[in-house]
Chains A and B, each alone.
Chain A
Amino acid sequence: MGIEQGVAAPPMPPPGSLGAFFWAGAREGRLLIQRCSACGTYIHLPRPVCRACRSFDLAPAEVSGRGTVYSFTETYKAFHPFFVDRVPFLLATVELEEQAGLMLLSNLVGAAEPDIRIGMDVMVDFEVLSPELTIPVFRPATAGGS
């Protein structure tokens, strides 16, 4: 069974998952991270309980979208049909400004690999991969912040 390049659909989050709010937010251009209503701790990935205080009272909260690059890697191999004509691409762990150690896996766009630095300021943007799926991606923050 052959796969035509560029025709494959992107991998979709499963419907009804604990992370459904994250993807719904992305479709609206908002970065939502689960937050504990009791103690204010941000929790990513979404979980049923707060690891700081054991509260079950958790809700999505919009964050600024500002962060720094903790690490990054340029992937040269496609491991799924959708990515065959997207390689190489930049995968990054971004530390969000709201909380130390609040890490988000995403893609870096708008800069070439040699220009990326660990610790550089980045800002969220949103990329429409299909009518059903929009993902938050990060691009270098403009001088003076945005």
Chain B
Amino acid sequence: MSAGRRVAIVGVGYSDVGRHSGLTERHHAAQAAVRALEDAGLDASDIDGATTLGGDAGDFAWMLGMGPLAWHLNFGIAPAFVAPAVEAARAVAAGACETAIAFRLMMQQPSSAAAAAGSAAIAVANVDDTEFQFPFGDFSPTQWAGLLMNRYLHDTDATEEHFAQFAVTQREHAMGNDEALQRAPLSVDDYLSAAYISKPLRLLDCDYPCDSGSAVIFTTEERARDLRQPVVLVDAMALVSDHDMNFELLPDMTHTAPARCADTLWSRTDLKPADIDTAQLYDGFSVITFQWLEALGLCEPGQAGPFIAAGNTRLGGSLPLNTDGGACNVGRRHGANFCIEATRQLRGQCGERQVDGAEVGVWSNAVGPFAGAMLLTKP
């Protein structure tokens, strides 16, 4: 259990997520926030804390008539949505504010084709170190993901067919989610016949680029009891960093930051891996989810591939995983979808993809040099 006041998730919301939506970052922030406030039954004036990865929390809060803010925080390089989520929960727990909203804004990147034609700026995570990447043709996260996936295939019992089965299972989940962008049936052969981007990484190992805004509201357990939704509590959380941003130079690509993050998370709770009813584990690239399953102790070391292929992660299996379809299918919401899906599962609001009796959920973000995770429970 985390120190300080007990914290609950009380409101969740998405913007009109889509491919090249034509909306600005402020549009996406405003839509997500208004829907999260509506979900919670809160007024904008109830919000006295704000944080974001993408854009400026103070700008969004002023635009929406929130505040004055007693606490705010903008992130730069961070392990996706879990960074603002964890810090928002900590700010409420510590009493820095009463009710905090955490945002993730993500605007679609220019296509790789545009980049190759020299007509678009190339986004990079760490500008300072690109002199040791670009001359070797290393420009894209798909390439470090290819390195991580190849080493993972070498170190574990996973096969390319297991990755195919993972993609197929996620798509099955997306078919039950009308917020997913990809819902057409997918087969193992579809996965295996898709082109390599950076072998062994294929197109269907990647999350789906889109414009998205996501917002989640945190407040005290005490206040949460008076609000609109069933209470979902933050039981424990962890946020770790153990390398600089050069994923390509990680000394152990199969056991990266999620391993340290999981150790920290489990040290802060009385819950055990066997208590987890549903897991929502980041899939920016599919190998990341495989790492998280093992790091959190949800399967045996090196066995995530066989564990998935045996059907454990399907609805009705022993550990329904990424039940919204994952970022491969709902689009790149950078982990916010996993926080929101875990919350909805514990509320019992997931319809045909609802996990029966879901009382404990875990969601996570990132891989490599940094990672974060949060355990959610019902009161």
Interface residues of A (CB under 8 A from B): 1-3, 8, 10-14, 17, 19, 22-23, 44-45, 70-84, 86, 88-89, 91-93, 100-101, 103-107, 113, 118, 129, 133, 135
B150 at the A interface (CB under 8 A): yes
Q: Do A73 and B147 have beta carbons less than 8 Å apart?
A: yes
B residues sitting closer than 8 Å to A (CB atoms) are: 112, 115-119, 122, 129-140, 142-143, 146-151, 154, 195-201, 244, 246, 248-251, 253
Number of A-B contacts (CB under 8 A): 129
> Within the complex, which residue of A2, A11, A81, A89 is in contact with B116, where a contact is CB–CB below 8 Å?
A81
**Cross-chain contact A14 with B112 (CB below 8 angstroms):** no
What are 29 A-B pairs at a CB distance below 8 A? Answer: A1-B118, A1-B119, A19-B131, A45-B246, A70-B253, A73-B146, A73-B199, A73-B201, A74-B196, A75-B143, A75-B197, A77-B116, A78-B116, A79-B116, A80-B116, A80-B134, A80-B137, A81-B116, A83-B116, A91-B137, A92-B147, A93-B249, A103-B249, A105-B248, A105-B249, A106-B136, A107-B136, A118-B150, A118-B151
B117, B137, B248, most chain A CB atoms within 10 A: B137
A14 to B140, alpha carbons, bound, how many Å? Answer: 19
Q: Which residue of B lies closest to A70 (CB)?
A: B151
Q: Tell whether, in the assembled complex, residue B118 and residue A3 are in contact, meaning their CB atoms are under 8 Å apart.
A: yes
Let me know if B135 and A135 touch, CB within 8 A.
yes
B251 contacts which chain A residues (CB < 8 A)? 100-101, 103
Closest to A133 in B: B135
Instruction: Determine if B199 and A81 form an interchain contact, defined as CB atoms under 8 angstroms apart.
Output: no
Q: Assuming the A-B contacts A78-B116, A103-B251, are A83 and B137 also in contact, with contact meaning beta carbons closer than 8 angstroms in the complex?
A: yes
A3 touches B199 (CB 8 A): no
Give A105 to B246 CA distance when docked, in angstroms. Answer: 10
B137 contacts across to A, CB distance below 8 A: 75, 78-80, 82-83, 86, 89, 91, 107
Shortest Cβ gap from A61 to chain B (Å):
17
A107 → B minimal CB distance (Å): 5
List 7 A-B pairs, minimum CB-CB distance, nearest first. A73-B146, A79-B139, A11-B134, A13-B131, A71-B151, A101-B251, A103-B249
Q: Which B residues lie within 8 Å of A1 (CB)?
A: 118-119
Cα–Cα distance between A73 and B201 once the two chains are bound (Å):
8
- Is B195's CB under 8 angstroms from A8's CB? no
- Give, as a whole number of angstroms, the nearest-CB distance from B121 to chain A: 12
The CA-CA distance from A104 to B133 in the complex, in Å, is 10
Chain A residues near B138 (CB, 8 Å)? 91, 105
- CB of B139 to closest CB in A, whole Å: 4
Minimum C-beta distance from B96 to chain A (A): 32
Q: State whether B249 touches A79 (Cβ < 8 A).
A: no
Chain B residues closer than 8 Å to A133, beta-carbon distance:
135
A77 and B197 contact, CB distance less than 8 A:
yes
| Interchain CA distance A89-B197 in the complex, whole Å | 11
Q: Contact partner of B154 among A3, A71, A129, CB < 8 A?
A: A71
Q: Is the CB of A71 within 8 A of B253?
A: yes
Given A73-B198, A86-B137, A100-B251, 11 more pairs with CB closer than 8 A: A2-B117, A45-B244, A70-B151, A71-B147, A73-B150, A75-B137, A75-B197, A75-B198, A79-B115, A105-B249, A107-B136
Please indicate the chain B residues that have their CB under 8 angstroms from the CB of A13 in the complex: 131, 135
CA distance A74 to B201 in the complex (A): 9
